[in-house]
Structure 1
Amino acid sequence: MIQLDDRDLEILRILSQDGRITKAELARRINLTPTPAWERLKRLEQAGLIAGYRAEIALKALGPHVTVFVAVELSGHTVEDFTRFEGGLNAYPEVTACWALGGGFDYLMQVVTRDIDSYQRLIDRMLENRIGLSRYYTYIVTKPVKGPGLPPLGLLAGPQKD
């Protein structure tokens, strides 16, 4: 595991908020010259701490849409059942995220689609294609309250306290 200092954490924080920042501006904001700032950035990328750079799309500007969270139960619980379901999700671009869960449900999916009718057609296709979906529980997002944000980097990268 890579050791991170305050400047490394600041680089991660800045990039999580502005992935298009110039190298010169990044260096200025962490109070380094461009070359050592660039070397730190490359080290963070090579260590796998920066998984990618992407734009945050304003879906509302594209047109009407609905975000739905779906709690999923599978029909079986063998390795093959989980593999079939997880692999089957690749056929559905409307499923924008999915997490395996411990506890009552097997997975939590995030679905973004045009409307409720297209959401239901998606679920119907998933059931017809027999990817293992047994039960599903639909939770429609009525309004965003707090979006994906910066994880508590200092807390996660700091020393463990028992």
Structure 2
Amino acid sequence: MSLDPTDIALLSHLQKHGTATAQDLAEVLHLSPSQAGRRRQRLEESGVIEGYRARIDPARLGLHVQAFVQVQLASHGVEQGTAFARLLRTRPEITSAWTMTGEADYLLRVWCPDLPALNRLIHEVLLAHPVVARVHSQIVMDQPKADAPLPIG
């Protein structure tokens, strides 16, 4: 899909202000509210805008430990990948997962209330899974740059 400068401005604004109304967008884009609303709707329908989410403070939910966990599988068949992907979907503390090149097959972002909970996840869930060969974890100490909007335009 081809994006013009107005689409790019709309997307940039929505990445920072996801609850912006058509009126808000109209003011930023110098369009009428109906034009701004139609542009947003077109970007939603085309799949450029996948959805909207609330940003929630993990600490206020009692999630004080964030970690990145690298997982290496013992073998790489379709069944093993499917079994591990199924495990990922069942664990709410695994908030995102990526397949990777290099030594690790997966990189997981996890949030736990404390270190014992992270330890249980690693030893009783991940390492206990029959397709997992190795796990390497790194605990996040600080996040000097928050998750940022995508670089568009």
Bucket of the pairwise TM-score, normalised by the shorter protein:
over 0.9
Q: Give the Cα separation in 1 of the matches to 2:33 and 2:105.
A: 47
Q: Give the Cα separation in 1 of the matches to 2:42 and 2:63.
A: 41
Counterpart in the other structure of 2:59: 60
Secondary structure of 2:50 counterpart? coil
Counterpart in the other structure of 1:74: 73
Q: TM-score, normalised by structure 1?
A: 0.89
Q: TM-score, normalised by structure 2?
A: 0.94
Q: Give the Cα separation in 1 of the matches to 2:47 and 2:39.
A: 13
After the TM superposition, which segments of 4 or more aligned residues of structure 1 sit over 2 Å from their partners? 60-64, 125-130
Distance 1:136 1:27, change over 3 A: same
Q: Give the Cα separation in 2 of the matches to 1:102 and 1:9.
A: 31
One-letter identity of the residue aligned with 1:53: Y
Counterpart in the other structure of 1:140: 139
One-letter identity of the residue aligned with 1:143: D
1:2-48 deviation digits (Å, cap 9, x = unpaired): 11011101111111101111110111111100111111101100110
Say how many residue pairs are matched: 152
Counterpart in the other structure of 2:93: 94
Q: Is this contact kept in 1: 2:127–2:134, CA < 8 A?
A: no
Q: Give the Cα separation in 1 of the matches to 2:46 and 2:111.
A: 32
**Following TM superposition, by how much is the alpha carbon of 1:62 offset from its aligned partner in structure 2, in angstroms?**
2.9
**Following TM superposition, by how much is the alpha carbon of 1:144 offset from its aligned partner in structure 2, in angstroms?**
0.9
Counterpart in the other structure of 1:25: 24
**Following TM superposition, by how much is the alpha carbon of 1:102 offset from its aligned partner in structure 2, in angstroms?**
1.2
**Are residues 1:37 and 2:26 paired?**
no
Q: Give the Cα separation in 2 of the matches to 1:129 and 1:140.
A: 21
Over the aligned positions, Cα root-mean-square deviation in angstroms equals: 1.2
Counterpart in the other structure of 1:159: none
Q: Give the Cα separation in 1 of the matches to 2:63 and 2:77.
A: 39
Q: Give the Cα separation in 2 of the matches to 1:129 and 1:137.
A: 15
Structure 2 unaligned blocks of 5 or more: none
Counterpart in the other structure of 2:102: 103
Secondary structure of 2:3 counterpart? coil
Secondary structure of 1:68 counterpart? strand
One-letter identity of the residue aligned with 1:49: V
Secondary structure of 1:82 counterpart? helix
Secondary structure of 2:55 counterpart? coil
